[in-house]
Structure 1
Amino acid sequence: MKASLFFLVIATAYVVATPVPDNAPADYEYPRYVKIAGGDGQMHDVDLEAEPNMEVLDEVNRNPANNLYLLYTRRNSIVSQTLIINNANSIHNSNFNANVPTVVVVHGWLSNQYTDINPTIRRAYLNKMDCNVIVLDWRRLALSDYVTAALGVPAVGRGLGQFLRFLNQVTGARFDSMHLVGFSMGAHLVGNAGRELGGQVIRVTGLDPAGPLFIYSRDRIAPSDGGYVECIHTDGGYTVGGIGIGTAICNADFFPNGGISQPGCLTNICNHNRAWELFAATVTYNHLVGRRCTNNLQITWNTCTGANLHMGNDDLRKTGTGMYRVNTNRSYPF
């Protein structure tokens, strides 16, 4: 009896740990009712077939750039300055410096400028280098129900792209000095921003891109959205209610500890948030190195034998393709 129970546990663990297989059915869909993590630190019951709030969507589509663009630099690392599209004075009167890199940080669902991802990544960059950090607060849409927020992501992404084009026109800030970083639903938002600019932005990073309503959507983050598009998957998979997409969808895709369950985490929220925690740590230390894999089984069983590539970091000239397994520790800096 004990032996049978042992093998049952092992078999169950294998199912839980297995990412989306290479031959997954093309018509796979999430169940209608799922639990999804919000930026409020809670899991929420979501009906993926719920009617969206058309009033909010109409407003977002009419005014896609109607969001907060909050600038932080080493001269104002704590209190932000608000940049306004089509208002050149808001740019000229700020501390924005077109001669240093610009990093845009975009939060996910049920979040805002104060959600932990924003100050964490902001501090990592400003402690590392002289740069412009712009936090996009898109709470008007992000605080809506999940379906409404997901449907509005492409419009807000286009608005961010239009804002960056305006920034380029007003200051001469080059697209090859811009790095867009988005978490969860925000990963798809920065992808759409890069798409609006024809892929001119030098680097786009998706941190555990949201899966529900995006896994097969043409509006999800894609390799052509920037010069180099990287995704970090920490809570993927079909079988365990993973919040993120568990497959390779970018130029380079990193799967820390297999991409589903993270050391020190007991919940999907912890696994999901680990993506931005890992990224912030790599900006500071550039210490997490992936090994290239040829298939998902190698990622799962940690048997990858290909070339190395650093995950994350602040390198604007970074390049790479393929899938990579990364092994980390359970606590910062991982």
Structure 2
Amino acid sequence: MKKAFLCLLLATVYTASAVPLDDGFPENNMHYPRFIEFPDGDGNPHLVDLEDNVDRVVMDAVNRNPANNLYLLFTRRNPRNSQQLIMNNANSIRNSNFNPNAPTVVIAHGWLSNQNTGLNPTIRDAYLGKGEANVIVLDWRRLAMSNYVTAANGVPAVGRGLGQFLRFLSSTTGARLNSMHIVGFSLGAHLVGNAGRELGGQVARVTGLDPAGPLWNFNRNRLGPNDAVYVEAIHTDGGYTVGGLGIGSNIANADFHPNGGISQPGCLTNICNHNRAWELFAATVTYNHLIARECSNGIQVSLNTCRGRVFHMGNDDLRKSGNGVYRVDTQRRYPF
């Protein structure tokens, strides 16, 4: 009798809180309500109508010229003042501090954000504090400042534009695609996936930081495991819960679910949970200290009973490789 009760209890826990561990989606992850709150780059909530009209003027402009964004270079020679790199303008690159022998990291922000949004300087400083690197901040505000539905629809085009820019950068400087790591947050996570896809999956790494959930569950343009040599996703606000902002499902080669992937220590809101993804990542670039355990199923993720192999979450290792689903427990405050 006790064994039967325990099985029923575990089944209930799994149904209520387990993360999906395959390519499908649980029933309660299929639909978001029409109206949700989604944060801007400063963490302020905005009411989003997921049935809003697409702004065709903006979309036409994005589709005509997907490379029409700002590419801002930071290096140890100019850690605070950016140099603008311009698509199809070789002199803008040759006259910059770009070093083809150093690793290149691209950071893509999310919705209602821009080059000054918190994740950009935080991740930039983590890399430049670690060693020589070309840190390129992608400012795609022209689309990102549109309504959420328009921004989501334009993400693939901006991602393709980023891929085209990186191909041009490579051909101009000789920098190898396997020395590049593309990092994106929220909508930006799907954007960098499309960039990697444009390059035939040849970039060394793509990292999705809590990839956005609304409008992406069944979207063929979402981040995927073939978008780079190694694709990693860090899920901190799983989208299968009410109000979750991240997709929650496993979509990469390696999917990490810090603290179970739903709520984070020290956070009381979904917005805090969502932003914790880039905060955790930046900390791992500096310290490489968050060591996860591989999980066999969703019950293990939820109940924190994963006993598989260990694997570092995040970090700046361009040769990183691995597969599986992982849980790591963190602290409430930096460096977590």
Q: TM-score range by the shorter chain?
A: over 0.9
The match for 2:132 is 130
- Greater shift in the superposed pair: 236-245 or 79-88: 236-245
Residue 101 (structure 1) aligned to one of 84, 100, 103: 103
Q: Secondary structure at the match of 1:150?
A: helix
Q: In 2, distance between residues paired with 1:27 and 1:237?
A: 7
Residue 77 (structure 2) aligned to one of 75, 80, 90: 75
Residue 283 of structure 1 aligns to which amino acid in structure 2? Answer: V
The match for 1:212 is 214
Q: In 1, distance between residues paired with 2:14 and 2:42?
A: 31
Q: Deviations over 1:34-83 (max 9, x none)?
A: 12122131111111111110000000000100000000000000000000
Q: In 2, distance between residues paired with 1:259 and 1:13?
A: 15
Residue 142 of structure 1 aligns to which amino acid in structure 2? Answer: A
Change (3 A) 1:204 1:21: closer
Residue 286 (structure 1) aligned to one of 285, 288, 295: 288
Change (3 A) 1:264 1:16: farther
Q: Deviations over 1:274-303 (max 9, x none)?
A: 000000000000000110001111111001
Please give the residue correspondences for 1:1-334 in structure 2 after superposition, counting only pairs within 5 Å.
17-20=17-20, 24-25=26-27, 28-334=30-336
- Count of residues in correspondence between the two structures: 324
Q: Secondary structure at the match of 1:94?
A: coil
Contact 1:65 1:160 in 2 (8 A): yes
Q: In 2, distance between residues paired with 1:109 and 1:328?
A: 26
Q: In 2, distance between residues paired with 1:92 and 1:150?
A: 34
- Greater shift in the superposed pair: 149-158 or 40-49: 40-49
Residue 285 of structure 2 aligns to which amino acid in structure 1? Answer: V
Residue 176 of structure 1 aligns to which amino acid in structure 2? Answer: N
RMSD, aligned α-carbons: 1.8
Q: Deviations over 1:177-213 (max 9, x none)?
A: 0000000000000000000000010100000000001
Q: Deviations over 1:98-123 (max 9, x none)?
A: 01100000000000000000000000
Q: Secondary structure at the match of 2:275?
A: helix
Q: Which sections of structure 2, spanning at least 5 residues, go unmatched? A: 1-11
Q: TM-score, with normalisation over the residues of structure 1?
A: 0.94
Residue 259 of structure 1 aligns to which amino acid in structure 2? Answer: G
What is the CA-CA distance between 1:247 and the residue it aligns to? 1.3
Q: In 2, distance between residues paired with 1:274 and 1:226?
A: 24
How high is the sequence identity, in percent, across the aligned residues?
70
Contact 1:37 1:268 in 2 (8 A): no
Q: Secondary structure at the match of 2:117?
A: coil
Q: In 1, distance between residues paired with 2:150 and 2:239?
A: 24
Q: In 2, distance between residues paired with 1:21 and 1:248?
A: 6
What is the CA-CA distance between 1:18 and the residue it aligns to? 4.3
